[in-house]
Structure 1
Amino acid sequence: MQAIKEQQWGEDYYFGASFTKPISKYRLDGQHAIQLSLSAGDRLEILSPDQAQSTELIVLDAHGTLAPALLDKRPPVVAVGIQQQLQQRGAASQRLRNQLNTWQLDESSLQQAITVSGAEHAKFTAANDLTVMIVAAGPNMSVEAHTPVTEVDITVTYANLAEPPLPAPLAPIKHELRVDRATAQTYEVKKGEWIQIIDVSGKQCSDFIAFDKQALAQGSVLGLDATATRTVMGLSNPVPGLHSRYLGSDLKPMIEVVQDTVGRHDSFLLACTPKYYEDSGYFGHASCTDNFNQRLAHYGIAPRAGWPAINLFFNTFIDASGAVLMDEPWSRAGDYILMRAERDLVCASSACPDDIDPANGWHPTDIHVRIYDAAQDFPRAIAYRNTSEELSRMTKSSGFHPRTSAMTKKFIDYAGYWVATEYDGWGTNAEYLACRERVALLDLSVIRKFEIVGPDVVAFLQYVLTQNISRMAIGEIAHSAICLETGGMIDDGTIFRMGEQAFRWCCGAEYTGIWMREKAQEKGFKVSIRNASAQLDNLAVQGPNSRELLSKLIWTPDSQPSVEKLKWFHFAIGRLGGAAGVPVMVSRTGYTGELGYEVWCHPDDSEAVWDAVWQAGQPFQIAPMGLNALDILRIEAGLSMAEHEFDHSTTPFEAGTGFSVPLNSKQENFIGREALSRQAPESRHRLVGMILQGGDPASHGDHVYHGRFPVGIVTSATYSPLMGKQIAIVRVAPDFSSIGTRLEIGKLDGQQKRLAGEVVKLPFYDPKREKLLA
């Protein structure tokens, strides 16, 4: 079985398919719409993953007349969700209104809709050719509510289509060409133009090479250069994924990679060569190198025995010994790479003919190339998946991004969101000092938020969380871990008690919500678990002056505590600037070890919240803060981070978060309790601090030694401006965890270079938490 996927930027929906008959699968995000064309006999399925999001359909016949009976014989109803979304202010309403206008649908068309409830797995068959508009509609969720508008899955099974369709164009196409299986094509692009290389059927490699057109005109061959790219980018092999830029031998960029829906490719091995096939006993077999030589002869480029290429969709990996291995590609049909030309180029793309190994899934197919005009603009994005089966998701931006991106261009893809690492004119050290001495603000919208409500919500959370949430009061927050049956941690986060039977779980991994939903279904808990991440942004306001700043901005009703009276790990519902202002939730939480708060709001209000905090912060010399400064702050504060202090093999006790596992006071069973109870405290590896001698830095993953052999590992390390020393959080065997123990951190091979240090108690900063609790 093969699979197809497409990601459409303008409307935020995704498309994929498996087929014996071609099947297209779409993920329709909450508050978005999609238009599909169906032919007689085509089947349409709609399913809400959280079993709570309704969908509304408007059907037109081939003449553009409303015809809901072509899909559903039930009487049509009013599209209430669409009306609610259109009646409110904000981006979602305007986007939907623009789409309906484009599709020439007016208010009367909303009176004859088909509604699919969230609990329904709807299946329709088109009685004739038709066009259907599908909307996952609903009003914006307020900060105190638990009704996010969430995604739905759509599947179309085509009755008469012979092959999978290409993904919809990202913009008007300037030029396109098909690279037939086992061939290559050349094409020219101008500086600034966009190149989209599409895997038509899935698991098909495509080698890409490019040459400076001006240099060719002057008789010089200046192409993509592996050594220059790897040296300047500082990466030998980008695994998984691609370099963001590829350079020529003149050390200047030739190509920028803008979007990648796969995330796994090889970079600069040779395109397949005649020698490879001859050495394997396949004499005369077609090769990408020969195909390139034939096509490039027109430009006066001399043939080569092997062409260094960007091997798109080619799944290679490197084992512990350094050997390069390969397997079937990760790409599905419709997956693509979008690149931008940094100069006028002559390009060549192949559809690799390799059918003697897994490189092309054993069955070579076509590649499709589209060229878009330089006037177009596309967001930078990288694909990721929460599960191996789902359609890929692309990097998102929060509602604060228009403000942060105006202050810096230094962003990384962090857990599926673009997050600033540091800001122009400030820098990591200044941002760190602002938080320690004054006040700083940080976009933390990457945190995932899940609304968990229902009659069994307390019993359910007692089962899946380590923390004893039954003791929590409304308005209180608690830290908790989530563990496997082995006691290893899946995630950690904070749980907000919003009501007697309503909680909000805020965590690092989106997969946690999927896992929770699976556990609820396994045990039959009557709860709803809905992803509200797209409906809630959060801005961290941290530092000694954070309370004074926010007390000037946040109004709370008499029933809620004021900012001045808000206790640590509690929250309040209020407004920005007064009783009629933007609705917000303020929590006394953070990740810095300082007095601090987080302000939660709907993305439509994020810019207003940022502007208000920024303006009010000027007397305090407020600074924006990126992830680099946050990392120093959280290490000084001894705070754990996923894939550093914990992973699926680490227990909360070993991760330094054992306080979230009250084995004595929590009587109910929870996932991982038996494993955690079996682990004797004396045998647990322990998280401690190390202060190092000298200025050499330690790194995550370095081994910690006592004598010749390792006794632990570095989980996080940084230079502490506060202490003027290199510091590290380390996990060590209990025998070596005593305060004052002298240990060494191994560099190079662990033996030839050692960094001496001494074990200290965590946290490094404010060990009694006096600032945090002030």
Structure 2
Amino acid sequence: MTQQIGIGPNTRKSVYFDATIAAGVASFSVYNHMLIPAHFGDPQAEYDSLMTGVAMWDVAAQRQVEISGPDARALIQYLTTRDLSKTRIGQGRYVPICDHAGTLINDPVLLMLEENRYWLSIADSDIGLWASAIAAERGLDVRVHEPDVSPLAIQGPKAETLVAELFGDWVKGLKYFGFKQTDLQGIPLILSRSGWSKQGGFELYLQDGSRGSELWAIVKAAGAAYGIRPGAPNDLERIESGLVSYGADGRIQTNPCNPFEISLGKLVDLDRPDDFVGKAALQKIKAEGIKRRRVGYVIAGAAIESFQHSLPVQTSDGQIVGLLSEAVYSPRFVGNIGVGMIASEIDEGATDLSVMLDQAPRKVTIQPLPFE
């Protein structure tokens, strides 16, 4: 019997939804209360396109939280762990956001659009509600809302050539996380050199949701000469590359972690003279030393065909010392690899670690990230 998951009114469709259906999307996930393609029926071919060619992804579920008004900069500074006082218009920044206990609750990309106007391009949690509450409690004069913005990603080693053909050679001068307001055949968008892969690429922040299918068709047609394929943020490539995934690697409801544990400690500026949410807690955490660290894992045995839930990592005497948060089989490394947490006192040479997978123990060893 074929199993199905119902789509209700509380799960929004992307502006590219019809285009992805026509392109043969085979599976969806839910991200920020929105459907996001998971794959188009051939995950290995989608991976190959990302690694050697070019792929296009509907990432409209990567929602934007717009913060504008006289106190916008003050709110952004207080929300994030990084000192953003020197950020300029047209620059993006990767900015961890913590709660007052120092627990990571999102890791968005910040885009400074104007002097008092910013977007937070968020991972999967309701940061708009958080930002609104913090602003109200501090009496800040800002507007916090979700604009009509839907990113479309173009990723892979041929992405720059394709995007330059679409927009012009000026795109080659964009620095990583740099962006510019522009248009494509009259469609308004912001073009950013960014994306959730280590293979390079761009994100097109569409600013008119009524033109989603039109934008998809333009990119698809131009990309045909480069073998472009539709796909989705790729779990295999992200694990191989060691990219952080808020939600998969750590989520406040299931695996609460702080930026130091999840390898984002370099983005925590405790020397800032001003205060920010979680600063006191993070100072204490750093002074006391972190209890866990994020690592790569190699998992012995047959190829992992599916991995749905995080698994405890334990020693030979049954002591739980870590967590395997996600794992896949990697043809590139000819084995099962994953990411997760391990207790700080466990060194990389540990030989007595295992996880229970498919009701049987699997030996695991620790590897540094990214996998090489």
TM-score by length of 1: 0.45
How is 1:140-151 mapped onto 2 (pairs within 5 angstroms)? none
* Residue identity opposite 2:228 in structure 1: I
Query: Which of 398, 404, 412 is 2:28 aligned to?
Result: 412
Deviation at 1:672, TM superposition (A): 0.8
* Residue identity opposite 2:20 in structure 1: T
1:395 to 2:2 alignment? no
Query: Which of 268, 290, 294 is 1:687 aligned to?
Result: 294
Paired residue secondary structure (2:78): helix
1:474 to 2:78 alignment? no
Deviation at 1:690, TM superposition (A): 1.4
Equivalent in the alignment of 1:364: none
Query: Which of 91, 102, 105 is 1:487 aligned to?
Result: 102
How is 1:95-106 mapped onto 2 (pairs within 5 angstroms)? none
CA distance in 1, matches of 2:211, 2:112: 23
Paired residue secondary structure (2:39): coil
Query: Which of 433, 437, 442 is 2:57 aligned to?
Result: 442
| Identity value in percent | 27
Structure 2 stretches lacking a partner, 5+ long? none
CA distance in 2, matches of 1:589, 1:681: 35
Please identify the structure whose Cα radius of gyration is greater: 1
The answer to whether the Cα contact below 8 Å between 2:155 and 2:195 also exists between their aligned partners in 1 is yes
Equivalent in the alignment of 1:713: 323
Structure 1 stretches lacking a partner, 5+ long? 1-228, 234-242, 245-257, 259-380, 383-392, 557-561, 766-774
Query: Which of 495, 498, 515 is 2:130 aligned to?
Result: 515
Alpha-carbon displacement from aligned partner over 1:515-553 (angstroms, at most 9, x marks no partner): 111110101111111111xx1111110000000000000
CA distance in 2, matches of 1:549, 1:702: 41
The answer to whether the Cα contact below 8 Å between 1:700 and 1:717 also exists between their aligned partners in 2 is no
The answer to whether the Cα contact below 8 Å between 2:29 and 2:38 also exists between their aligned partners in 1 is no
The answer to whether the Cα contact below 8 Å between 2:159 and 2:201 also exists between their aligned partners in 1 is yes
CA distance in 2, matches of 1:699, 1:402: 27
How is 1:216-615 mapped onto 2 (pairs within 5 angstroms)? 233=3, 244=5, 381-382=7-8, 394-415=10-31, 416-424=33-41, 427-509=42-124, 511-532=126-147, 535-555=148-168, 562-577=170-185, 581-601=186-206, 602-615=208-221
Equivalent in the alignment of 1:678: 284
Alpha-carbon displacement from aligned partner over 1:456-512 (angstroms, at most 9, x marks no partner): 222211111112211212111111122111111222211101122111111024621
The answer to whether the Cα contact below 8 Å between 1:572 and 1:585 also exists between their aligned partners in 2 is yes
Equivalent in the alignment of 1:730: 340
* Residue identity opposite 2:299 in structure 1: L
Inter-CA distance 670–493: structure 2 relative to 1 (3 Å threshold): same
Inter-CA distance 451–683: structure 2 relative to 1 (3 Å threshold): closer
Inter-CA distance 564–681: structure 2 relative to 1 (3 Å threshold): farther
1:663 to 2:270 alignment? yes
CA distance in 2, matches of 1:748, 1:617: 40
Paired residue secondary structure (2:345): helix
Inter-CA distance 667–704: structure 2 relative to 1 (3 Å threshold): same
Inter-CA distance 488–622: structure 2 relative to 1 (3 Å threshold): same
The answer to whether the Cα contact below 8 Å between 1:637 and 1:764 also exists between their aligned partners in 2 is yes
* Residue identity opposite 2:345 in structure 1: D
Paired residue secondary structure (2:95): strand
Paired residue secondary structure (2:211): helix
Deviation at 1:582, TM superposition (A): 2.1
Deviation at 1:439, TM superposition (A): 0.5
The answer to whether the Cα contact below 8 Å between 1:408 and 1:422 also exists between their aligned partners in 2 is no
CA distance in 1, matches of 2:124, 2:289: 31
* Residue identity opposite 1:716 in structure 2: E
Deviation at 1:589, TM superposition (A): 1.0
Q: Larger relative CO (CA 8 A, sep 6+): 1 or 2?
A: 2
Paired residue secondary structure (1:606): helix
1:643 to 2:253 alignment? no
Inter-CA distance 681–639: structure 2 relative to 1 (3 Å threshold): farther
* Residue identity opposite 1:541 in structure 2: I
Equivalent in the alignment of 1:19: none
Give the CA RMSD over aligned residues: 2.2
Inter-CA distance 413–428: structure 2 relative to 1 (3 Å threshold): closer
Inter-CA distance 419–683: structure 2 relative to 1 (3 Å threshold): closer
CA distance in 1, matches of 2:348, 2:27: 38
Deviation at 1:563, TM superposition (A): 0.9
The answer to whether the Cα contact below 8 Å between 1:555 and 1:576 also exists between their aligned partners in 2 is no
Equivalent in the alignment of 1:200: none
1:633 to 2:237 alignment? yes
Following superposition, which runs of at least 4 residues in structure 1 exceed 4 angstroms of deviation? none
Deviation at 1:555, TM superposition (A): 4.5
TM-score by length of 2: 0.91
Query: Which of 356, 361, 372 is 1:754 aligned to?
Result: 361
Deviation at 1:638, TM superposition (A): 1.4
CA distance in 2, matches of 1:511, 1:527: 18
Equivalent in the alignment of 2:261: 654
Alpha-carbon displacement from aligned partner over 1:140-165 (angstroms, at most 9, x marks no partner): xxxxxxxxxxxxxxxxxxxxxxxxxx
The answer to whether the Cα contact below 8 Å between 2:65 and 2:145 also exists between their aligned partners in 1 is yes
CA distance in 2, matches of 1:688, 1:603: 39
* Residue identity opposite 2:267 in structure 1: S
The answer to whether the Cα contact below 8 Å between 2:303 and 2:329 also exists between their aligned partners in 1 is no
The answer to whether the Cα contact below 8 Å between 2:162 and 2:223 also exists between their aligned partners in 1 is yes
Equivalent in the alignment of 2:230: 624
